[in-house]
Structures are given as structure tokens and as C-alpha cells.
Structure 1
Amino acid sequence: MDKFRNYDIAFSGLKDGKHDFRFEVDQAFFNLFETEQEFSNPKISAHVFMVKHENFLELEIDVAGTIQLVCDITTTDFDYQIENQIKVLVKFGDKYDDSDVDVITIPKQDYAFNVAQLLYEDIVLTVPMKKVSPKLSAEDISLLEKFSPQDELEKEEEIDPRWNALKNLKK
């Protein structure tokens, strides 16, 4: 975790109450994870609001910025605006446990909490599965409509009329 130390929030010397932390997230941050991303050129600001209590920490993490995606249709790059918020409760216990999505337990003797993994997951989960540029041409849009799955209502209209007689048997 040494390479992530810039994302430590040292809470042991802080008074109980509200505290703010800011992190700038760029490609160097994602390189720390040594994984491949579906985006490039991230320019993201992360704002961590922490409320320190005697026995636990409340974290609210807001991320906002842009990433560059490749359009699934045109294969051109476009900027995609991301904005997300997560809330996590950090409590103190005997050992580290992050099996609960909303509650993370850290050892009582810890003096800092590292938010790098939370930032990473928060940002990566905002990337859409379908990446479509907002600047599609009219030709691209017509192709997209032509090959898009049909709506359920349209499918019902295409049912062979002989099946409708079978529906009457249920009644």
C-alpha cells in the first residue's frame, strides 16, 4: 500500500467533527493499480467529506470530472462527464474487513484510512457499458436505430395471429 500513501486520510490527530479532503485523479492514479481501463485522459476531482466520531468515521466521496471514451459505433474519441457519490462507514475492530459494501472495518490501532480503492471503484463503476458519442451524425443515428433491438410493444405486434387464439383458451 506504500504507493497509495498519497491517498491516506490521517484521522488520529483530528478532532471529532467534519473534515474535508480533496484529491486530483489523473492517469498516474490509475497507473498505480496496474490494470487496463476502458477510458483515457481522466481529469477528475474527488472531494472526501469525513465526519469523525469517537468510534467510527463517516465518509462521503464525491467524484466529478471527465474521461475520454471510444465510441462503440464510430470508434472516435469523445469526452464523457462523470459525477458520482458514495457513502461509507468506517468502524474500528480487530482486523480489516471490507466484506460489507457500506461498512469497512479497520484495526483499532490504525491511524489513517486509505481511500484509493474507494476512489478507483467509484470512478470505474461510472463508466457506461455502452459508449455512444453525443455527436453522432444523422447517418450513424439511422444505422443505430436500424440495428437496435426492437421494443417489446413492437415484438407483440409481430406475433403470428394464430397464437392469439391460444391466449383465449387460458380464460
Structure 2
Amino acid sequence: MNNLKEYLIPFVGLKIGKHQFDYQIDNTFFKNFDYNEFNDVSVKVDIVLEKKSTMLELDFKHKGTVNVPCDVSGEEFDLPIKGKLKLLVKFGDAFNDENEELLVLPHGEFQVNVAQYIYESIILSVPLRRIHPGVKDGSLSDVIQKLESLSPKENKKEEQQNNDIDPRWENLKKLLTDK
């Protein structure tokens, strides 16, 4: 975690008002967190720190792409992501980061580490299901055809058994669907 010193924002010397901080995130950032779900990362993070007399307001915005494998086809593709995060920093007796929108720093603290918040906001902006755009629009038709050929087919014996069912049971099945 010593490689994350550039994500320490010293706020003691800053004047009251808004201050802009920009970061370009790549794979080396995620290696510090032992996170290897992304093949490649190119995300720009903009942080606006508004210093007030008794607290700090941090507004995180990120936009960029992460290269991930498709959950359907296995093909790698660049997934565009973007997101926002608002963080209030107050001062108290002890460090407390239990609330995701409020950070309490001890009174003597002179800097805030934003690396964890950048990491979490990028990870949470990636959808749970990652589908290649070619699967949606049909341009990966050879992959789709292969998946369809490998999909399970209904067994012919089961079809025959379904046809040999007593008609009285069929009427009972209708009761289940006629709710």
C-alpha cells in the first residue's frame, strides 16, 4: 500500500473553497489491492474537494473503460464505465469509516487517503453481468451459433412419456396454471 502515496490529499495547507484533483487509473492501481478481474484499465478520476471551516466535502467522478471477458462468449472487450461518489469528512475523537458516505478523521489529522474510495467506486460501477456488445447486436454470430449447438436438448424419451400421460392428470395440471 506504500505505492498509494499519491492518493493522499493534504488538506491542512489548502484555503477554504473548492480544489480539483485528477487521477489516471490503470492496472497498477488495482495490483495494490490484489484485484485482477480486469485485463486492462483506463479510467480518469476527478475529485473536487470543498474545504469548509469544520468539514470537507469530496465529490468523486470517474469515467473510462475496463477490459473484461464477456460472461456469455468469453471474448474480451472494453466496457465503458462511469460513476459518482460523494463523501463527507468530519473530525472527531477517533478514526471511523463505518458509514460509506461519512468519514470521521481524528482532530490532529492533516491528510485524507482517497485510494480506497476510488477503488470501490470503480469496482461498483462495473455491472454484475458483462455482455459483449457483439452478442447483443448479433455481430458475434459464430459464437452464438456454437453456444446454441452446445445448449442442452430435451430428451426424446421424456417427450414420449409426456405424451403418454393420463388425460385426467392433464386436467389437474391446468388447475395449477389457472390461478
- Both proteins in one fold, TM over 0.5: yes
Alignment of 1:1-171 (within 5 A): 2-33=2-33, 35-136=34-135, 137-138=140-141, 140=144, 143=148, 160-163=173-176, 167=179
Gaps of 5+ in 2: 153-171
SS at match of 1:123: helix
Normalising by structure 2, what TM-score?
0.78
Residue identity over aligned pairs, in percent, reads 32
Q: Hey, what's the Cα distance between the residues in 2 that align with 1:56 and 1:87?
A: 13
SS at match of 2:49: strand
Query: Which deviates more, 44-53 or 122-131?
Result: 122-131
Q: Post-superposition, which runs of at least 4 consecutive aligned residues in structure 1 deviate over 6 A? A: none
Q: Hey, what's the Cα distance between the residues in 2 that align with 1:50 and 1:20?
A: 6
**Residue equivalent to 1:154:** none
Q: Hey, what's the Cα distance between the residues in 1 that align with 2:99 and 2:73?
A: 40
Normalising by structure 1, what TM-score?
0.81
SS at match of 1:78: strand
- Alpha-carbon shift at residue 131 of structure 1 (Å): 1.4
The change in CA–CA distance for 1:123 and 1:161 in structure 2 (over 3 A counts) is: same
Q: Hey, what's the Cα distance between the residues in 2 that align with 1:13 and 1:122?
A: 27
SS at match of 2:73: coil
**Residue equivalent to 2:165:** none
Structure 2 counterpart of 1:163, which letter?
Answer: L
- Alpha-carbon shift at residue 164 of structure 1 (Å): 5.5
